[in-house]
Copies of this chain bind each other. A is one copy, B any other.
Amino acid sequence: MIAEDALIARYLAPLAGPGALGLRDDAALIVPPPGMDLVLTKDALVAGVHFFSDDPPASIARKALRVNLSDLAAKGATPAGFLMALALPADLDESWIAAFAAGLGEDARTYACPLLGGDTVRAAGGLSISITALGWCDSGKMVRRTSGRAGQTLLVSGSIGDAALGLRLRLEPDAPWARALPGPLRAHLADRYLHPYPRNALAGAITAHAAAAMDVSDGLLGDAVKLAAACGIKGLHPRILLDRVPLSPAARAALALAPDLLQTIMAGGDDYEVLMAADPDTVPALLAACAAAGCEASVIGELTLAEDPAFVGADGSAVPFSSLSFQHDWTA
């Protein structure tokens, strides 16, 4: 048996940053750096919904933190720390917590995002983790989702579809395409599902050269539609050239084996890449800055008011999708 105080002292206090006051106060205390704006984001993960209960505890921890770091990256913000509410099932054993805290601590150091505070409670059902991450950006410089305009180029970082394919592999390991895919490619997809790779390295490039940005979490196509809609310009929509969407060698191989995986790749979500809109004349500088920061970006289309189809294939014709992104819904 482990009591709440012991759990916090043994596993969470070692992850605490200076503002956390050793997790021994009611609240965290942060002195805002002068000339900076505060950026705040909150994403929650639930066992059986966002991850599998038997995923490695360190991976669950990393995913919980990284999905929040990805939001900060997309806003061009530098991580400052996080608060975490951990709802732990009654039958949890201490080795699970130890491994969870170890993974979380490693990421907190890697991304310079220390634990600032939180709450640890008994879950009624399964495990859930809710994280609020804080970041700073230069005053007035946060990159909005709402500032896209017609004629801007759309770009995306990294590669799309890997995580959603990794999830398909977990759910249907005996599908013909899954069995035909070489082991190292399967391993790449499985890893991308377990572990987002938030693009915090691109924050500077995004701030300097992007007009609008958001993180791709629910599915590239749906998120591109969301970005256009958020701009509040009647008729603004994305036009995405599907063959320009960057795919990893593993996703390319999977798609060659089963062309209907295009739906999963383009709309499956869990990418945690950054979708950017940029004025055409800043695109070369944005591409160069991303490459210099260690993560290539790719031009995938544009924002437009023209009555063009939104998603087009190599031959210029519209490609239909059964859905554009993942969305929770509740049935009464």
Contacts and interface: CB of A to CB of B under 8 A. Distances in A.
B122 A25 contact: no
B329 A27 contact: no
A29 B39 contact: yes
Contacts of A48: 124
Contacts of A83: 40-42, 132
Interface stretch (A69-77, A249-257, A262-270, A299-307): A69-77
Interface size class of A (residues with CB under 8 A): 35 or more
Copies of the protein in its oligomer? 2
A30 B37 contact: yes
Nearest to A93: B332
A29 B24 CA distance: 28
Nearest to A133: B27
Contacts of A24: 145-146, 230
Interface centre among A71, A93, A119 (most CB of B within 10 A): A119
B29 A124 contact: no
A329 B2 contact: yes
A17 B93 CA distance: 41
A144 B1 contact: no
Interface string A93-118: 11000000000000000000000111
Contact of A2 (B30, B77, B330): B330
B125 A42 contact: no
Most buried by B among A90, A92, A135, A139: A90
Nearest to A95: B332
Nearest to A70: B26
A84 interface: yes
Given A123-B128, A126-B125, A26 B75 contact: yes
A47 to B, nearest CB: 6
A119 B130 contact: yes
Interface centre among A74, A330, A331 (most CB of B within 10 A): A330
Interface string A1-37: 1111101000000000001010011111111101011
Interface in A37-56: 37-50
Given A90-B330, A328-B4, A332-B91, A27 B71 contact: yes
Contacts of A32: 32, 36-38
A327 interface: yes
19 contacts: A1-B329, A2-B329, A3-B329, A19-B40, A25-B75, A25-B144, A25-B230, A27-B40, A27-B41, A32-B37, A41-B117, A42-B85, A46-B121, A46-B124, A47-B124, A49-B123, A50-B121, A85-B130, A93-B330
Interface of A: 1-5, 7, 19, 21, 24-32, 34, 36-50, 71-72, 74-75, 77, 83-85, 87-88, 90-94, 116-126, 128, 130, 132, 134-135, 139, 142, 144-146, 214-215, 230, 327-332
Given A1-B330, A27-B71, A27-B75, 7 more contacts: A3-B328, A4-B329, A26-B214, A31-B38, A32-B36, A34-B34, A123-B128
